[in-house]
Amino acid sequence: MLICISSNKLQQEIQTKPEAHLFEEILYCNIGNPQSLGQQPITFFREVLALFDHPSILDKSETQGLISADSIERAWQILDQIPGRATGAYSHSQGIKGLRDNIAAGIEDREGFPADPNDIFLTDGASPAVHMMMQLLIRSEKDGILCPIPLYPLYSASIALHGGALVPCYLDEATGWGLKVSELRKQLETARSKGITVRALLVINPGNPTGQVLAEENQKAIVEFCKQEGLVLLADEVYQENVYVPGRKFHSFKKVSRSMGYDEKDISLVSFQSVSKGYYGECGKRGGYMEVTVFSADVREQIYKVASVNLCSNIFGQILASLVMSPPRVGDESYESHNAERDGILSSLARRAKTLKDAFNKLEGVTCNKAEGAMYLFPRICQPEKAIKVAEATKTAPDAFYCRHLLTATGIVFVPGSGFGQVS
């Protein structure tokens, strides 16, 4: 947060007093915000959204010269899914039913297990979905959520805001940020011995900020652990398209648990997805959904109640969330070009992840695991004794001290690892 405020200030200074700094721009490497770093939006998605925005151009002849035929067809389909074609109305608080149908069909196609549109809750990005679940899970400071450390700060902030206890489970840097069930069990027992009721386990896969992609066997062990201990499994799967190494593949926790023969009677599962990540990177659209497979109808009704407090999520985000789960198909005019855009972005992300990791590992005193997925690297930086002493003298964590200096000297924004709860 401090780094963000400093970089905002610096950004203003560069505009008002460009001569005061040695660099001309701020490079924001502190957040997965790809379009701010030059990534182009995906044409098909933007065409459909533009048509939906202003449907009166849908049947104009000029439009056919501007927009591909399948985008026009898709916009008509979506328009027909909206009650009364009212493109500017509040929707059902869970999201437009037809769009949830598309998403459920997309999940089913991919996984081969049934998905129910009534289990889908469309949200303004994944963050509000996370807050909703925390609000429902946390009753008092005695309720805990088991979380991997280092941890994306959204989760620590949300648990704190809702007054719960964050139960840490340390990822093992030496084995590529593995999540060991033995560590999970140890931390669960420690928490219980302190009188904490652990209600859920959060897993971020591919990992944020650590970039690992879990092996299927590891996922099975995690599912088994949650089933045995009666924990809700919160699966942050927003980087599901961002896998960069040949040996790894994304498997949703729902698919893994269904393939083990478990259904919603055996394990309560919430999966988060977002339009902000993947190859789309549409952060500003604020679209996403959660798929909630739980046995109790009561729980779903409570989630619906909480969702309805903000009326509905934005319709554009809803449409985009359905489009990323139902991209152009073979035979569609956009099919080839869409895939080319997608592959271009994903291979560029993979290339940059490797280049940066290699560069880090060439620096003196720096080591860095590879990013198997997601959008982040989490290097370990050994600082000289003197630097650590100066940092401590100013009551700053050494890594925050390093990041502060990196920012003022180069304009590059890093987030200190201590901000993710990592040990130094």
Binding site for its own copies (CB under 8 A): 1, 4, 8, 31, 33-36, 38-39, 41, 43, 46-47, 49-51, 53-54, 56-57, 60, 62-63, 65-67, 83-84, 86-92, 124-125, 127-128, 131, 135, 154, 157-158, 161, 276, 281-286, 305, 308-317
The SS3 assignment for 286 reads coil
Of the two residues 12 and 175, which places its CB atom closer to its own copies in the complex? Answer: 12
Shortest distance, position 287 Cβ to its own copies, whole Å: 8
Shortest distance, position 330 Cβ to its own copies, whole Å: 24
The separation between the first and the last C-alpha atoms of the chain, rounded to the nearest angstrom, is: 19
- Gap between the Cα atoms of 142 and 16, Å rounded: 50
Q: What are phi and psi of 289, to 5 degrees?
A: -155, 165
Of the two residues 259 and 418, which places its CB atom closer to its own copies in the complex? Answer: 418
Is there a contact between 365 and 385 (Cβ–Cβ < 8 Å)? no
- Gap between the Cα atoms of 166 and 126, Å rounded: 19
Shortest distance, position 81 Cβ to its own copies, whole Å: 13
Of the two residues 88 and 365, which places its CB atom closer to its own copies in the complex? Answer: 88
Shortest distance, position 209 Cβ to its own copies, whole Å: 15
Is there a contact between 275 and 268 (Cβ–Cβ < 8 Å)? no
Q: Provide the sign of the torsion angle of the four alpha carbons 319, 313, 138, 267, taken in this order.
A: negative
Of the two residues 122 and 269, which places its CB atom closer to its own copies in the complex? Answer: 122
Shortest distance, position 47 Cβ to its own copies, whole Å: 6
Q: How many CB atoms lie within 10 A of CB 270?
A: 27
Of the two residues 254 and 286, which places its CB atom closer to its own copies in the complex? Answer: 286
Shortest distance, position 153 Cβ to its own copies, whole Å: 9
Contacts of 309 (CB under 8 A, 6+ apart): none
Q: What are phi and psi of 420, to 5 degrees?
A: -100, 10
The SS3 assignment for 243 reads strand
Of the two residues 52 and 177, which places its CB atom closer to its own copies in the complex? Answer: 52
H-assigned helices in 166-277: 181-193, 216-229, 253-259
Shortest distance, position 50 Cβ to its own copies, whole Å: 4
